């Protein structure tokens, strides 16, 4: 079945139940009011502090946009790009694209104008839907993307080169379009993180999207009583595929536009959130705010919150131990995945395995895993090799890139590029990205292991380890360290702390600076290499 069937089922079964809520901290009233009181202010001022949508409204809006696209000549198999910040319109637009048989092409909101142009051309997009945050960037390329026949603008102050989504969609039919869909039809193109240059386009079909719904719900047991708080960007497979568990059961979800410890706790408290997916920096910020006394747990109603899970990056065990001390009643879970494997879930820890914190888990529901040597042979338990996964969520291909597809897809297995080991109980531990391994004096150094060790230092908030060129050893490990607010440490302090680490693993250079992360929480190591070694190691790292 196509994934659109789940939306239509929810609209039939629970038409009046709330499906989505958008909370926008930037529109907070000048004085404290309840959500219900603010709805009156919103109506009078046009503000958008809190908006909500029922399942029926969700489905109707998706149908209207699907029919709008059909009136503009969009055909089954065409590509429609989405360039929006998280908002109430995002998911109805996504499903409207799917309902008319087109492919949704979500785009990273950090893309420059040239990257937007590159991705539109790579995906063969003929339509672009964008919001007010991107007017300047889209205007720069509007006369250089001739294959994009239509541009729809979501928001006020319509730019001259686009049509108004809001004005046009209102007058379109709310009847589901008569476009037959199957689970083998192409559904979406996502983009890789672009760590080796410009992003690659990842093609998925409806079967992959449906499988992610089933995997997510199996892992976290969502029911219609759950409320999922979604903070990460919807363009990324991580956020959306976690939300797919809520879609499957018809549960409410909250889109929080903005990240701060206070707003996370307020949303949980006011919306009754039960499941919150955080990135490592956000979890650290919440705990730091509580430790400093900036937030008092007694000010919030947090008894509904049952599950905190983290993904998209390695999770320091010290962070989870610290979290459980503050929130002992929370279940904790982590998932592992790639956009090429339709996001999180191909490897899954499980809330019952908190004693294995630090591991990413075992093969997820409907998935298989193996760890192999450079020749593709399985390695023994405890040995480091490349993690491979196989399951219904594996991408069809890199769109327009058969060479890259052949490198990563072999006999149905997806070679992830992540180095991992398996313990005696079958749990998988990430060691590092294949391209990030540092070879120093003939020894392989795995930055994630060094980063996990350093994060246990009480003054360290975040850390990234990269390789720097060295005439004698080839490379040395350098630690870029961001300190907690109000804390201090010297190079000598960090060196002394590392005395318990094997000598060859100790970082030989300490740099105190910010650690850049992308919107999904991953450390931007190519950017760090560009800053600290002029990018000279980038190609070397990729080809190891």
Q: What is the DSSP string of 46-92?
A: ---SEEEEEHHHHHHHHHHHHHHHHHTT--TT-EEEEE--S-TTHHH
330 vs 501, which has greater pLDDT? 330
Give helix 280-292 / helix 317-326 axis angle, nearest 10°.
Answer: 40
For every residue of 93-152, DSSP letters joined together read HHHHHHHTTPEEEE--TT--HHHHHHHHHHTTEEEEEE-GGGHHHHHHHTTS-TT--EEE
Kindly provide the residue ranges of all beta strands, DSSP E only, lying in 284-435, ordered along the sequence.
307-310, 331-338, 343-348, 362-363, 368-372, 385-390, 397-398, 409-410, 413-422, 428-433
pLDDT of residue 44: 41
Tokens encoding 518: 């992308």
Identify the H or E element spanning 286. Answer: helix 280-292
Element at 481 (helix H, strand E): strand 474-483
pLDDT digits (tens, 9 = 90+) for 397-417: 999 999 999 999 999 999 998
Q: Is the pLDDT of residue 38 over 50?
A: no
Tokens of 335: 């998932």
**Residue 35: pLDDT above 90?**
no
Whether the Cβ atoms of residue 438 and residue 449 lie closer than 8 Å to each other: no
Residue 193: per-residue pLDDT: 67
> Whole-angstrom Cα distance, residue 81 to residue 152?
10
Which residues touch 257 (CB under 8 Å, ≥6 apart)? 22, 23, 24, 25, 26, 85, 86, 87
The fraction of the chain above a pLDDT of 90, given in percent, is: 70
**Residue pair 296/329 in contact by the 8 Å Cβ criterion:** no
**For the chain, domain boundaries:** 55-205, 437-542
pLDDT, position 312: 66
Q: Is a pLDDT exceeding 80 seen at residue 307? A: yes
Q: What is the average pLDDT across 67-77?
A: 97
pLDDT score of 435:
74
- List CB contacts of 179: < 8 A, sequence separation 6 or more: 66, 70, 76, 99, 100, 101
pLDDT over 90 (residue 428) = yes
Mean of the pLDDT values across residues 68-96? 97
Task: Indicate the range of 21-30, 222-231, 248-257 predicted with least confidence.
Answer: 21-30
Q: Which residues are CB-contacts of 535 (< 8 A; sequence separation ≥ 6)?
A: 526, 529
Q: Which helix (H) or strand (E) holds 255?
A: strand 252-256
User: Of 196-205, 225-234, 413-422, 508-517, where does mean pLDDT reach its minimum?
Assistant: 196-205
Q: What is the mean pLDDT of residues 454-480?
A: 87
Q: Distance (Å, rounded) from C-alpha 392 to C-alpha 342?
A: 9
Provide the percentage of residues in the chain whose pLDDT is more than 70: 91
First to last CA, the chain: 42
Residue 34: per-residue pLDDT = 47
Contact between 367 and 215 (Cβ < 8 Å): yes
Cα 143 to Cα 130: distance, rounded to the nearest angstrom: 16
Judged against a pLDDT cut of 60, whether residue 285 lies above it is answered with yes
Strand 50-54's sheet: what is its strand order?
50-54, 18-23, 252-256, 227-230, 275-278, 307-310, 331-338, 343-348, 362-363
What are 387's strand-pairing partners? 371
Interior angle at CA 450, CA 444 and CA 452, nearest 5: 140
The pairing of strands 438-440 and 443-445 is: antiparallel
Domain spanning 55-205: CATH 3.40.50.12780: yes
What number is the average pLDDT over the span 49-59?
94
Closest among 142, 164, 145 to 153, alpha carbons compared: 164
| Token pair belonging to 17 | 């139940």
pLDDT of the residue at 230: 94
Give me the mean pLDDT over the 134-161 stretch. Answer: 96
Residue 264 predicted with pLDDT over 80: yes
Q: What is the pLDDT of residues 361-385, one digit of tens each?
A: 999 999 999 999 999 999 999 999 9
The residue among 120 and 28 whose pLDDT is bigger is: 120
> Which three-class secondary structure state does DSSP give residue 175?
coil
pLDDT digits (tens, 9 = 90+) for 184-218: 999 999 998 654 457 899 999 999 999 999 999 99
Question: At the fourth CATH level, which superfamily is domain 437-542?
Answer: ANL, C-terminal domain (3.30.300.30)
pTM of the model: 0.83
Q: Please write down the HEC assignment for all residues of 309-323.
A: EECCCCCCHHHHHHH
Average pLDDT, the chain: 89
Backbone angles phi, psi at 252, to 5 degrees: -75, 145
Looking at residue 239, its pLDDT comes to 82
**Banded pLDDT at 317 (limits 50, 70, 90):** confident
Which has the higher per-residue pLDDT, 441 or 244?
244
Q: What is the average per-residue pLDDT within 271-289?
A: 91
> What are the two backbone dihedrals, phi and then psi, of residue 479, each rounded to the nearest 5 degrees?
-105, 120
How far apart CA 464 and CA 104 sit, in angstroms, is 34
Tokens describing residue 310: 């983290």
Contacts of 33 (CB under 8 A, 6+ apart): 41
Is the pLDDT higher at 533 or at 182?
A: 182
């Amino acid at each position: 079945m196509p994934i659109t069937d789940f939306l239509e089922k929810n609209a039939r079964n629970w038409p009046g139940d709330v499906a989505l809520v958008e909370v926008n901290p930037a529109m907070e009233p000048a004085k404290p009011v309840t959500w219900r009181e603010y709805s009156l202010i919103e109506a009078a001022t046009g503000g958008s502090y809190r908006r909500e949508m029922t399942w029926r409204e969700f489905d109707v809006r998706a149908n209207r946009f699907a029919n709008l696209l059909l009136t503009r000549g969009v055909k089954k198999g065409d590509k429609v790009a989405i360039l929006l910040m998280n908002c109430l319109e995002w998911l109805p637009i996504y499903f409207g694209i799917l309902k008319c048989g087109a492919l949704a092409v979500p785009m990273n909101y950090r893309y420059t104008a040239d990257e937007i142009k590159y991705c539109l051309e790579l995906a063969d997009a003929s339509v672009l839907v964008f919001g007010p945050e991107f007017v300047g960037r889209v205007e720069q390329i509007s006369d250089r993307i001739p294959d994009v026949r239509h541009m729809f603008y979501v928001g006020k102050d319509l730019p001259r080169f686009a049509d108004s989504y809001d004005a046009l969609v209102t007058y379109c039919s709310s009847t589901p379009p008569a476009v037959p869909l199957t689970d083998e039809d192409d559904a979406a193109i996502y983009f890789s993180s672009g760590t080796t240059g410009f992003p690659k386009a990842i093609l998925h079909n409806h079967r992959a999207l449906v499988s992610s719904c089933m995997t997510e719900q199996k892992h976290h047991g969502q029911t219609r009583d759950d409320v999922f708080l979604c903070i990460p960007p919807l363009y990324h497979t991580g956020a959306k595929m976690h939300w797919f568990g809520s879609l499957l059961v018809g549960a409410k979800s909250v889109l929080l536009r903005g990240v701060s410890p206070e707003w996370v706790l307020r949303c949980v408290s006011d919306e009754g959130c039960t499941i919150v997916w955080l990135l490592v920096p956000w979890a650290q910020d919440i705990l730091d705010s509580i430790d400093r006394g900036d937030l008092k747990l007694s000010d919030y109603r947090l008894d509904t919150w049952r599950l905190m899970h983290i993904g998209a990056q390695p999770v320091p065990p010290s962070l989870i131990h610290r979290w459980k001390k503050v929130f002992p009643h929370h279940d904790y879970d982590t998932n592992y995945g790639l956009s090429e494997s339709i996001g999180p879930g191909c490897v899954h820890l499980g809330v019952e395995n908190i004693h294995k914190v630090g591991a990413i888990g075992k093969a997820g529901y409907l998935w298989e895993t193996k760890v192999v040597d450079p020749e593709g042979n399985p390695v023994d338990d405890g040995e480091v090799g490349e993690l491979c996964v196989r399951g219904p969520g594996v991408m069809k291909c890199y769109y327009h890139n058969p060479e890259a597809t052949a490198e990563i897809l072999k006999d149905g297995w997806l070679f992830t590029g992540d180095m991992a080991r398996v313990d005696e109980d079958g749990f998988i531990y990430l060691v590092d990205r294949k391209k990030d391994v540092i070879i120093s004096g003939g020894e392989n150094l795995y930055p994630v292991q060094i980063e996990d060790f350093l994060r246990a230092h009480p003054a360290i908030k975040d850390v990234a380890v990269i390789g720097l060129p060295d005439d004698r050893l080839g490379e040395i490990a350098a630690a870029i360290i961001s300190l907690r607010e109000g804390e201090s440490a010297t190079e000598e302090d960090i060196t002394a702390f590392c005395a318990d680490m094997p000598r060859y693993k100790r970082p030989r250079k300490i740099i105190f600076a910010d650690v850049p992360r992308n919107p999904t929480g991953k450390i931007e190591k190519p950017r760090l290499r560009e800053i600290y070694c002029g990018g000279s190691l980038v190609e070397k790292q990729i080809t190891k």
